[in-house]
Amino acid sequence: MRVIVILVPSSSSIVTPPNPSRHNHHYTHLLKASKSRIPNLSPSNLPPPPWSSSRSPPLSTALRWDPTKTHPRSLADFANNLARDGKLVDFAMVVETVADSGVEASQFKSALRADFVEKGLSEFLRDGKVQSFVNVLNKLDEFGFPPLEIFTGSAMDLLRKECRGILKCREVDELVELVEVLAGFGFSIKELMKPSDVIKVCVQKRKPKMAIRYACTLPHAHMVFCDTIYEFGKKGDLESALTAFEFAKKNSNSINMYLYRTIIDICGRCHAYQKSRQIYEDLLSQKVTPNVYVVNSIMNVNAHDLSYTFNVYRNLQNLGVEPDMASYNILLKACCLAGRVDWAQDIYKEVQHLESSGLLKLDVFTYSTIVKVLADAKLWQMALKVKDDMLSAGVTPNTVTWSSLISACANAGLVEKAIQLFEEMLLDGCEPNSQCCNILLHACVEASQYDRAFRLFESWKRNRVQDMPEDDKENRASNASSGITTARSRSSQLYGLNFAKELSFMPTVATYNILMKACGSDYYHAKALMDEMNTMGLSPNQITWSILIDICGSSGNIEGALKILRTMREAGIEPDVVAYTTVIKVCVENKYMKQAFSLFAEMKRYQIQPNLVTYNTLLRARSRYGSSLEVKQCLVVYQDMRRAGYRSNDFYLKQLIEEWCEGVIQCDNQNQEEFSSSMTDTERPQSLLLEKVAEHLQKNIAESLTIDLQGLTKVEARIVVLAVLQVVKEKYSRGHIISDDMLITLGIGKVDTIPDELELGVKDAITKLLQDELGLEVLSKGLEIASNTQMYLESTNHSTSNSEYLGSNELPTERRPVVMQRLMVTRKSLRQWLYKRSSLRR
């Protein structure tokens, strides 16, 4: 079949439309250029053959010819000339025409000049016509002329430059699309660009999908998937890391364990523990058996949760996964974090047993971790015993092991022993790192041996090898070998070191922080150290500033402490919860409660979450409160604390409220011994009492005088009643009038059952308090209510248990009336009491 084609560049499908923005185009849709858009022409309009000229003819006018009547070599010459002259669009059209004509193309193909085509393609790249470049590649590829055969060194260089240019402009989408096209032609993407550079830009621009698409073009895509997820995670961008993970999962045809390991590790890095568990459980629900690395990762990420970690471990058998040494080391780490010495010791014994059976080989991690567990538990002797174990097992302690051994002694307050171990480490040829030196310094500071800490620090600074001139170093070495060490030994003795080796000691921020702690209350010394830090090129961190605040505040300088907090923020270090807590502590210690509460409000404004220490610091401010306002303020903090999910420490607050409430009867009665002795009632949730007090302080008591004492002990009930009376008293002194009787609910019981002992105790104690101690008129009132009402009341609290209950056969027998036990204090006697109290005061 004859095909006659009109070649009109301006209407062709492969012509690049002008575009002002170079890097703003999509190429992929051009991979399959439509041929149907090239119109056929009737044979009567055949043009003269255009290849008679040595120069390529202009194509501005329509050219028409019948390729079947032309020699393939002549066609090739024509095409070659077009390519050589940079008319590559036209060249491509000739190629396309030949392809479409049905003529024998092999001769034409063999006569094409790859060097000319390459030249033309290079020009496209030089001019930034990337889309045209891609279009031509498409055409050549369709024709069976793979672009890879055309490209030689120089064109590849240009292509590389072009890719780098796009990358430099951060046009990741465009680059990835081009790369995908090139990959389709078989180009080696790794040779065009450094994959890590592309991934970096994807991470910067938060384009996880582009990163994965790029990774798909590389031969080791799976590895690059993981690198990508890791890079996102390192930047703290968990969302993108997860997107990349999901996308990578879809683009993998098999389950890639390394991918799961990576995302689980990244979840750990980003503190998304629940997410890591979800991913792991998803894997299990697909009936996939994870490998030991995935299992170790999930355990490691969740090592702070001992029970979860152990559950995963216990499940290993069901899964048929064999734990390795790392699995056991992670279990030890979990015990270490949870402070479970007993469990750690059991595991240690078990792995030792496994080792003796030849199933495992304990490594330096195992020993270091168990040493740390023992060190934290102040079991220094056992820690030293582990050192012997490891030496006899032929495992050499590393810096971390030595550090843990030293901190074992340091934690037990044994500075001498710690220093002795430090020397032993040097003799053993183990180079201490900064952290290790810091542990030793910290040991001195903890034992209040401040001078010793400073002397050690100075000696290490002097011994720094890299600070010495070369010949000085040589002198030292030759002195050491010839035994001329007198001067040095003397100075070493002075610093408590019998062996002073040149240390590659480099102080860190932590070093200076420890030394600042050693300044006690000497603010100027601490400040000088902070300045020295700066000259050493170290930046003070949040800890540094907090220490400075503490030192300044310790001399009662509240203004100074507050000022440092501001300076800290100005210096670009955002104060954290500890910095705020430190300033709050300073205020509380100096009884500046208003300032303390104001700082508390300020930190909340900055969205810094107070923690248990902050709350306890504030609530510890149990100075005598004169009014319900201050107690209220305290209770607000208390309730805030409970809302934040902290188990409240009610001791101080309970005492505070007690003192405040007892103020009601202070002048009337001194007989309170019985109550204070029974205060330590830890059986019941103490918070209930405080909730009741808070509730009564916060609602408008003048409206309805009702007190609910259900579930409280008699001491707690006493406090609640007194708290309400205290509020009533304060309101009365401000002019409020009592218009109602006071109703006190004691409990709900069935009509013909005897109230329990506790309830009777409360009733007696409260009646005694109101009648005998305060002289109020008290009436006992039983209010009968239907049993289904009681069930309704119960169901509001225990919906699930109630439904179970409803389903049982016992239901009909329970339909008995119940009684609400109440006490009533008459309005008249309350008024008399208030009047008597106020006249007493006058």
Partner DNA sequence: TCCTGAGGTC
Residues lying near DNA in the complex (CB under 7 A) are found at 333, 364-365, 368-369, 372, 398-400, 403-404, 407, 433-436, 438-439, 442, 508-511, 513-514, 517, 541-547, 550, 576-579, 581-582, 585, 611-614, 616-617, 620, 649, 651-652, 682
What is the smallest separation between the CB atom of 345 and DNA, expressed in angstroms? Answer: 17
Residue with Cβ nearer DNA (442 or 501)? 442
Residue with Cβ nearer DNA (140 or 437)? 437
What is the smallest separation between the CB atom of 403 and DNA, expressed in angstroms? Answer: 4
Separation of alpha carbons 494 and 488, rounded Å: 10
Residue with Cβ nearer DNA (104 or 532)? 532
The SS3 call for residue 522 is: coil
Q: Which residues contact 585 (CB under 8 A, 6 or more apart)?
A: 550, 553, 617
Residue with Cβ nearer DNA (577 or 743)? 577
Most distant CA atoms of the chain, gap in Å:
130
Residue with Cβ nearer DNA (57 or 540)? 540
Let me know: does 133 contact 150? Beta carbons within 8 Å.
no
Let me know: does 795 contact 802? Beta carbons within 8 Å.
yes
Residue with Cβ nearer DNA (251 or 541)? 541
What is the smallest separation between the CB atom of 385 and DNA, expressed in angstroms? Answer: 18
What is the smallest separation between the CB atom of 349 and DNA, expressed in angstroms? Answer: 20
What is the smallest separation between the CB atom of 399 and DNA, expressed in angstroms? Answer: 6
User: 135: closest CA among 75, 89, 167?
Assistant: 89
- Torsion sign (Cα): 174, 178, 184, 188: negative
What is the smallest separation between the CB atom of 681 and DNA, expressed in angstroms? Answer: 11
What is the smallest separation between the CB atom of 639 and DNA, expressed in angstroms? Answer: 18
Residue with Cβ nearer DNA (105 or 400)? 400
The SS3 call for residue 136 is: helix
Q: Which residues contact 728 (CB under 8 A, 6 or more apart)?
A: 701, 705, 738, 830, 834
User: 835: closest CA among 766, 752, 733?
Assistant: 733
What is the smallest separation between the CB atom of 695 and DNA, expressed in angstroms? Answer: 23
Q: At residue 750, what are phi and psi to the nearest 5 degrees?
A: -75, 155
| Cα 128–Cα 129–Cα 131 angle in degrees, nearest 5 | 130
Separation of alpha carbons 79 and 88, rounded Å: 9
* CB neighbours of residue 255 within 10 Å: 13
What is the smallest separation between the CB atom of 204 and DNA, expressed in angstroms? Answer: 24
Residue with Cβ nearer DNA (268 or 323)? 268
DSSP assignment of 568-598: HHHTT----HHHHHHHHHHHHHTT-HHHHHH
Q: At residue 254, what are phi and psi to the nearest 5 degrees?
A: -130, 165
Residue with Cβ nearer DNA (417 or 442)? 442
What is the smallest separation between the CB atom of 476 and DNA, expressed in angstroms? Answer: 27
User: 768: closest CA among 810, 731, 823?
Assistant: 823
What strands lie across the sheet with 706-708, from one edge to the other? 706-708, 742-750, 818-825, 778-785
What is the smallest separation between the CB atom of 823 and DNA, expressed in angstroms? Answer: 31
What is the smallest separation between the CB atom of 407 and DNA, expressed in angstroms? Answer: 6
Rounded to the nearest angstrom, the gap between the alpha carbon of residue 433 and the centroid of all alpha carbons in its chain is: 27
What is the smallest separation between the CB atom of 269 and DNA, expressed in angstroms? Answer: 8
Q: At residue 779, what are phi and psi to the nearest 5 degrees?
A: -120, 140
Identify the H or E element spanning 780.
strand 778-785
Residue with Cβ nearer DNA (352 or 434)? 434
Rounded to the nearest angstrom, the gap between the alpha carbon of residue 19 and the centroid of all alpha carbons in its chain is: 45
Separation of alpha carbons 352 and 166, rounded Å: 58
Residue with Cβ nearer DNA (412 or 746)? 412
The SS3 call for residue 426 is: helix
The structure tokens listed for 488 are: 């040095």
Residue with Cβ nearer DNA (436 or 765)? 436
The number of C-alpha atoms within 13 Å of 5 and in the hemisphere containing its C-beta is 24
What is the smallest separation between the CB atom of 354 and DNA, expressed in angstroms? Answer: 20
Separation of alpha carbons 775 and 23, rounded Å: 91
Residue with Cβ nearer DNA (682 or 797)? 682
- What is the 8-class DSSP label of residue 778? E
Separation of alpha carbons 297 and 292, rounded Å: 8
Rounded to the nearest angstrom, the gap between the alpha carbon of residue 437 and the centroid of all alpha carbons in its chain is: 28
What is the smallest separation between the CB atom of 446 and DNA, expressed in angstroms? Answer: 8
* CB neighbours of residue 177 within 10 Å: 22
- Classify strands 706-708 and 742-750 as parallel, antiparallel or unpaired: parallel
Residue with Cβ nearer DNA (218 or 439)? 439
| Cβ neighbourhood burial of 570 (10 Å; 0-12, 13-18, 19+) | exposed
Residue with Cβ nearer DNA (365 or 625)? 365
The structure tokens listed for 759 are: 């309830």
| Cα 376–Cα 377–Cα 379 angle in degrees, nearest 5 | 110
Separation of alpha carbons 232 and 251, rounded Å: 18
Rounded to the nearest angstrom, the gap between the alpha carbon of residue 706 and the centroid of all alpha carbons in its chain is: 47
Residue with Cβ nearer DNA (137 or 573)? 573
Residue with Cβ nearer DNA (221 or 506)? 506
Report, in angstroms and rounded to the nearest whole number, the Rg of the chain calculated over CA atoms: 41
Separation of alpha carbons 808 and 516, rounded Å: 68
What is the smallest separation between the CB atom of 669 and DNA, expressed in angstroms? Answer: 26
What is the smallest separation between the CB atom of 614 and DNA, expressed in angstroms? Answer: 6
Residue with Cβ nearer DNA (541 or 832)? 541
What is the smallest separation between the CB atom of 662 and DNA, expressed in angstroms? Answer: 19
Could you tell me how many residues make up the chain?
842
